[in-house]
A and B are shown apart, each in its own frame.
Chain A
């Protein structure tokens, strides 16, 4: 059944938002219970994010390497800035090969639901492809799209939409060989 440690680390890996909201994706996200858990439905879980001063920690990856890249409207091509972040992600991931990776693709709310799932998938796929091109083993990476269902910023102008058009590299420890 539920691999508890794995589930905890997945949640822990969700990034800064997870500090305030450990249950962010309890409603069915790969992050919360995708690895085989009934994690989180209704309950509040809490776990450490690891020590950000430890360069091998998820917290370090999220905060110092950067766990996400942003996209232009209705685009999935990587900006120079995104390529820089992903290059750093790949270097880190190659250094710490035990982390399993889920790349989450997201879209802003200015599109239709189903297209946005496909668009988020395309963004996640682009990131996956780039990481693999930088030497990250393809077998470590899964992708998922949340379309426009999980925004991080909820105002109704470009300042929020630009944050929501993102691909987030979510880590969990314990690749089984």
Chain B
């Protein structure tokens, strides 16, 4: 489908914040990114119509999920229903654009929900109000009633994607470490939740320390560290069966800091032997391991580039933690971090353009991003303890662990967008750390 005046938010990386330029006359709507303060795009989302009585609750709930997703980005602002002039009485009724223009709604999202047995059907349409035209085709999603939140996320992803031109990230999940108990004796277990903290389930019990869960690229497995043998070792869990398998490694070693390769066939990790930690990769099918670094310093926190050709990692070979990039097969690394302080936990963006990291300087911790050559470093957050960034599937948002000072403090998960705006806590069931964002669900 084509449009004369497409509704579009142009998102570019180099600029810091976005300003909405209101449409004048026939000019296309754009969200230009400038140094100014963001003015979120106003949208109207009349509560989706229940097409049968059984769908009434789902219609209300799904509408709320969509609104929470969109408004939660900080890029959109929902116009309250009390301001509406038009009432949407049926999904196929013609849109009264003038009524939505009058309240300055720039996007209009309409939809309908029905529940038949254990199935829920969700339909939606998106309209560019000032162009007076639909934006993309109407879409319908059908699935089990239990997945109603995912239906809302799917609609919100489609809306976000059409307006920004970027991939969405709402219909995705996050694995994390759920923590409980006093600081000196934290109980840990692996948790799995929707990106917004809903639908939390637990993948392990809390009988062993578990750390650093990370999704495979297809989201079907996670790789993580458990102390269940008594010593830290890496395991791979099948998400469908929850079966766990220990990675083969040599006795008398510790293994940690695992991450899948982009093709999911191998993993890179740290292996410690006699006090020294180096990087290895392992072919997951054959168990064949390959040593990638061989230095008396600590080499850890490796992460592949999305094309699988490079690995970014941290090393203290210079005397303190700094970030290096090397070929995925090993070889001489290039240092890319040069600012004041220590740089740790580098993670390559799924878009390939940026590396997120933890920085430690002068008693404060920061989450930041830099280009893959180390240039254009930008710090997004600062606190007593921020660490461990993970990327949203579209490379626009980062989650990380934040812990306040104090003997009674506990870690929490926060998110921030890569402009440094929209910092907020992800509502987890309890203390949580080490988030790892999975792929957009199919």
Contact = CB atoms under 8 A, between A and B. Distances in A.
Contact of B407 (A36, A118, A119, A156): A156
B410 to A, nearest CB: 11
B360 A110 contact: yes
A156 B277 contact: no
Chain A interface residue bracket vs B: 35 or more
Interface string B272-302: 1011110000000000000000000010110
Interface string A102-135: 0000000111111101110111111011000000
Interface residues of B, number: 55
Given A113-B388, A114-B301, A156-B407, A151 B228 contact: no
Interface in B394-417: 405-407, 409
A29 B230 contact: yes
B345 A126 contact: no
B186 interface: yes
Nearest to A41: B207
A27 interface: yes
A146 B210 CA distance: 11
Given A29-B227, A34-B231, A114 B275 contact: no
Contacts, number: 144
A33 B229 CA distance: 8
Interface stretch (B5-13, B41-49, B166-174, B249-257): B249-257
A140 interface: no
B209 A29 contact: yes
B361 to A, nearest CB: 12
A153 B182 CA distance: 11
Contacts of B231: 30, 34, 142, 144
A21 interface: yes
Interface of B: 181-188, 205-212, 226-232, 252, 254, 256-257, 270, 272, 274-277, 298, 300-301, 314, 316, 320-321, 344-345, 358, 360, 363, 384-385, 387-388, 405-407, 409, 433-434
10 contacts: A24-B184, A29-B230, A34-B229, A35-B230, A36-B230, A113-B388, A114-B300, A122-B277, A125-B276, A156-B405
